[in-house]
Every structure is written in C-alpha cells, then in structure tokens.
Structure 1
Amino acid sequence: MKPEIKAKFETYPAEAQRQLEAVRGLIFSVAEENDLGAVAESFKWGEASYLVKGGTTIRMDWKSKDPGAIKVYFHCQTRLIETFREIYRDEFEYEGKRAIIVPLGAAVKEGPLGHCLQMALKYHSLKHHPLLGA
C-alpha cells in the first residue's frame, strides 16, 4: 500500500480501515484472478484509487458525514452503477450514479461485490455488451 494511502486510512476509525483494506484486497485479488495485469494504486481527489489497463478507475473512501459505511466510487459517465442496480438490485445500496455503499459490518467477499469490481476493471472490453456482459 502506498504510504500516502496508508497514512490516510490510519486517520479513520478501525472498522473503516478494515473495510477499506478488505475492498482493496478484493480489487487486487480480482485483478490477479482475471489476469488483468498490475493494479495502479494512487491517490485521486483525496481518495484511494485503483486502475488496471483496459479498466476504469475505482476509488474508495470513508467520510465522517456517513460514518457507518465506506463508499466504492465508479466513473459516473459509465454504465457501471446502472448495470449493478439492474443485476444486484437488493444486494447493495447505491449513491446516485457514482457509488456502492458498503456498511462497515458487511462481509467483503468475492460474490456480487467482486463481480462489480471485475466489471469495472474490465470496463473497456465490456462497455459495448448489454448489461456489460453480465
């Protein structure tokens, strides 16, 4: 983990840190399992940001104004959130066209969240398919 991201995460409550680290681990795991190449980890707009070649950026953060959850952000001009809402209507809460809300107590595992991350990491090869190939 990049030092600036680690330092930012360390300013958050322990539960938020654990959840952010779990989602980060899932991003790296999904990228590896799908042979998507190296994950570029950076800091954008004050948030941890992840990208692989051929994908779209995934960002995540915890905000004190919504202390019971972290949010996983996706580019709002993609069809990602629209697709996630269609296929995972009851699995997640969403914030507009930008984010999946992940409660601090939720189990972070492959399943639906892993599939959503996979679609973002493969976005440019999926964007022309109905429901992004789901």
Structure 2
Amino acid sequence: MPDLSRSFQNAAVADTFAGFPGDARAGLLELRDLIFETARDTPGVGRIEETLKWGQPAYLTPDSKSGTTIRLGVPKTGGFALYVHCQTTLIAEFRSLFADGLTFDGNRAILFQDGQALPTEPLRLFIRNALTYHRE
C-alpha cells in the first residue's frame, strides 16, 4: 500500500499525481514509494530529486549522478508505467531475466494493469539498477 504520508516537495509533481486516474494513481504512488525506499537502501545513490520531465514525475540522482532518470506515467493504452531512457540497456536486460513476469513497452517501459499487485522484488532490482546505471 502506498505511503500517502510522504509529502511532495514539488507542487507541480503533486498536481500531476492528483490528475492521474484513481486506479493508476494508486499504483504510481506505490512505485514512487519503492523508488524512494530503494534509493535509501542503496549505498552511493544519495538524494533523489523529484521533478517533472515531459510532463511526468521523474526521479533523478543530482548529487551522485549515479543513475539514469526514472519516470512514472499513464500510457495511452491504460494502466500505468515505469519509464527509463530508451538508450539504456535496462529494459533489454530485464526482458531477458523476467520475460514471463513483466510486460514491457519496447526499450523504454515496464507496463502494469490497474489494480495489479506489483512484483516488488524484481522492481526493486530494476530500480536499483536504474539508480546506479552510471556507476557501472
């Protein structure tokens, strides 16, 4: 269940979340919490900046510069999604590891259906890899 007590430091991000459809918003808030938790538990990542990029909530590692940007959004097909830069190898790597357990959109997103239970451990690994992508 998402931690709704975690405040938004950026009013534009809060407004964007408020504008998401209810079912998608619940899943996106759960992903948001997972990003912050994983960052906190991953040495060397440092502070996470939450901002908007391309109109979507985006999560950056501005101090350590260790990661690639993670974005959250609602695809045109419905549900909700976790996006990374399409020129990273993250999606390709995870498609080979979790082809049966995750749904992908090309080389840029992991897709979820509204109300779907999130596969927390694979997602935690994916987020950790995104947050440390430039350290490798």
- Name the TM-score class by shorter chain: 0.7 to 0.9
TM-score where L is the length of structure 2:
0.85
Q: Percent identity?
A: 36
Contact 1:26 1:109 in 2 (8 A): no
1:32 aligns with 2:40: yes
Tell me the matched-pair count: 124
Distance 2:89 2:18 in 1: 33
**Which 4+ runs in 1 deviate beyond 3 A?**
none
Instruction: Please tell me whether residue 19 in structure 1 is matched to residue 27 in structure 2.
Output: yes
Residue 37 of structure 1: how far off its partner (Å): 0.8
Gaps of 5+ in 1: 127-134
- Cross-structure match for 2:66: 54
SS across alignment from 1:78: coil
Deviation at residue 109 of structure 1 after TM alignment: 5.4
Root-mean-square deviation (CA), in Å?
1.3
Structure 2: stretches of 5+ with no match in the other structure: 1-7
SS state at 1:10 partner: helix
- Aligned counterpart for 2:110 among listed residues 94, 100, 107: 100
How many Å apart are 1:110 and its aligned residue? Answer: 3.1
Query: Which residue of 99, 103, 128 corresponds with 1:118?
Result: 128
- The residue number in structure 2 matching 1:66 is 77
* Counterparts of 1:59 and 1:105, CA distance in 2: 19
TM-score (norm 1): 0.87
